[in-house]
Structure 1
């Protein structure tokens, strides 16, 4: 057995060439297989690239077709839109032409009717215009007639014809309106008359409408428009703080009334009744008027400063009726100017509802007054009476201030301001108030919690009171 293995080993050692040739043959076959595989991979890659190129070309062709289709669709849509616009424009032109033709025909018919009525001598009164309801204006035509008595005109409008004409002239450029094709504009005099008669009488709008031959809504609009014009045009001219030269004259006039020097105005605050507002009801509730009248009352305040004639030089309108006089004063522009030293060296006289300050001269309010203090209160009452009388004439002249009005709360300050301006014009022009229109003011004056707010003012008031009594300027009515 061993001999056979040795023999086999010897045979292998004897044939090395045969073994090397076999190995070379195996290597050649392996390389051939690798090359074949590489060639196959290369052919496959080329095939895939050809397929991708073909797909890309097909995609580009499809994209080009879609883009052309979209362009054609957009072109068709644009053409359709242009055609629609042209049709709509043509339709609009036809409608406009039809409207103009109808208006022209209406005007021609109205002119023919007017001409026909002119030819008829028996046709009385003015002819109706298109779209205008026929209302009687007999009362206003009578009042505007030159033959209408001035006394009757004054009774209706609280001023004479000359004063009324002055106001119309001042407001003409602002309130005048142009005639239209369908109706005539309301004349300036009638516009102003509607406003003033409404303020003077306080009558409801339905009665104003009957008096002037106008619609209720038209009358309401005219009242607000004219009041706004009065505020914008006439207030800067007829209701303003006096110039320095006028203040000197005013001090002299007040001193001749009361013997108190350096007084430039008298101050008073009144309440205007209103309908219960929809917001902040508690703020406008007037407890003092409610308790007195046994009827729930709401109001807004009007604070005013007047000169020796009773002409307003400053007003503050619109604060709620629950506020006391001193609270309204602190909110006003008058108070702000005073803090800036505007009234330095001068006095504005107020009643018991105002505090004593460096510029507000108020009466003594404590109990058990001395003779000197009584004398001072008597004289200062004469000055504050000027303001009270001015407000009494204001409410007597303009009846709309005496009762709850139909005017909305937000529009009320404009209306009240117009009343104050018209009051000033009447006072400046000497328009006397009919005794039948005299009005009694009822305004509660509550003593402020802090009645004295300046030690300097307290000393100055004591000095004025001493001079009044010991220089025989004070009366003796307080002794009775």
Structure 2
């Protein structure tokens, strides 16, 4: 009978086997190709399996099995067609799901003797011994339950439960799958069937939405841990490549005019083209340049060492990102992150004429950046202006709150490597825009302990334009007199 699954060998048993009783396998040189191939095959076959489930396996029985493979490889016997079980009741089936009745039906296959031919003789046409032999490769995989995903993907699965799990409706989820289908679809192979597109996207979105460890995602979807990690990175990369140009766009003239009108209706300040905000994403201490990612403010607040990277975003009145800058170290203040962004380059080249970006006190006052007054003893006019600025800033803060609340992976230190994290964060911003555009609200929770904390540090040079100082004073005076103090600076 065909054996499609087999108990997994823990790493410690593999190490024991490599070191003893065959030290030449552990110290094999590149010339020992059969031994190197055997070791590579064993490691490859068990790479996609949760090894923690088999820590109680019998080491001696496992050693016997590997010893058979080693002997077969030395004798050039195909290890994928030859499986010799001296005793079907032995202990390396102790942790598997194979029943005793199934074990009794296991056939013992004896190795075939090779027909030797004289070294200098020519192949005889029609001689079976000279015909090429094709071997069918066996794939050892661990059987995992896919019941949860099969239930979620069923058409009768309740819409409310699906949205609670994936933070979006079935219609939005299917739209994302259709957009990514040409990029992430894989073909079936002779070894296994390809993972469907919907399951690939579901693994990624579930991981982003819950922030669960990969081992829990693996159990929920019935896939290997390394497979789930690979799927998350592949789908995030596809989202960033395929969907970001469409769903994170700087507004054109028509959309910009509409944005200005909405922001003016919110605050009374004219010509506001966006609300800018910078948040921090916690990370594990990196191996290089660790000091650059040290977040002093979060460390003091949380009373434990914290590291982070930044996400700067500009949002419209609906909380949709029109520009993002991701990945700068957490030790950089908001004004330094802004100076490294494409937004700053766009403004330097005059693309933001007659447009205000509204920021908090962590940004400098410039010809295109409007920020609140930060000195002591504010006048009533200045205090009124700061309140209006806060109303515009609230739009950005609420948007970043929904971003982090919707994608729980942004609230905790992630397992993703630092060089791969910007792609994941970019995918979160794209999915956030899709949910906001399609009115996918966030389900209220009774225990909502998440709060958005991002300290504001006043720049060393808070004022960088004398003309902007006059413009801000004029807008503040106009707001106090309900627009009767004359036209604005622009």
Same fold (TM over 0.5): yes
Number of the residue aligned with 2:384: 375
Q: Where do residues 271-350 of structure 1 align in structure 2 (5 Å cutoff)?
A: 271-350=280-359
- Cα separation, partners in 2 of 1:450 and 1:166, compared to 1, 3 Å: same
Judge conservation of contact 1:396–1:438 (CA < 8 Å) in 2: no
1:280 is displaced (CA, Å) by 0.3
1:234 aligns with 243
Alignment-derived partner of residue 98 in structure 1: 133
Q: Which residue of 1 aligns with 2:454?
A: 443
Within the alignment, does 1:197 sit opposite 2:232 as a pair? Answer: no
Q: Which runs of 5+ in 1 are unaligned?
A: 1-83, 107-129, 475-480
CA distance in structure 2 between the aligned counterparts of 1:96 and 1:256, rounded to whole angstroms: 83
**Partner deviation per Cα, 1:374-415 (whole Å, 9 max, x = no partner):** 000000100011001000000000000000000000000000
Following superposition, the deviation at residue 471 of structure 1 comes to: 1.4
> Which of these residues, 158, 163, 166, is aligned with residue 157 of structure 1?
166
Aligned position for 1:172: 181
Aligned to 2:473: 462
- Distance in structure 2 (CA, Å) of the matches to 1:161 and 1:257: 33
Q: CA deviation at 1:240?
A: 1.1
Work out whether residues 355 and 362 of structure 1, in 8 Å CA contact, stay in contact via their aligned partners in 2: yes
Change (3 A) 1:85 1:453: farther
Alpha carbon RMSD of aligned pairs, Å?
2.3
How does 1:69-80 map onto structure 2 within 5 Å?
none
Alignment deviations for residues 168-199 of structure 1 (CA, whole Å, 9 cap, x no partner): 00000100001111100000000000000000
User: Residue 358 of structure 1: which of 342, 367, 378 is its match?
Assistant: 367
Aligned counterpart, 1:217: 226
- 2:470 and 2:190 mapped to 1: Cα distance? 72
Match of 1:186 in 2: 195
CA deviation vs aligned residue, 1:318-341 (integer Å, no higher than 9, x gap): 100001000101111110111000
Q: Is the 8 A contact 1:393 1:439 kept in 2?
A: no
The alpha-carbon deviation at position 466 of structure 1 amounts to 0.5
Which structure shows the bigger proportion of residues in helix conformation? 1
Query: What is the TM-score of this pair, normalised by structure 1?
Result: 0.73
For 1:78-130, what per-residue CA distance to the aligned partner results, in whole angstroms no more than 9, with x for missing partners?
xxxxxx99999x9xx99993235x36xx8xxxxxxxxxxxxxxxxxxxxxxx5
TM-score, normalised relative to structure 2: 0.71
Are residues 87 and 184 of structure 1, via their aligned partners in 2, closer, same or farther at CA, if it must alter by over 3 Å? farther
1:394–1:420 contact (8 Å) kept in structure 2: yes
Structure 2: 5+ residue runs without aligned partners?
1-118, 486-490
Task: Count how many residue pairs are aligned between Structure 1 and Structure 2.
Answer: 363
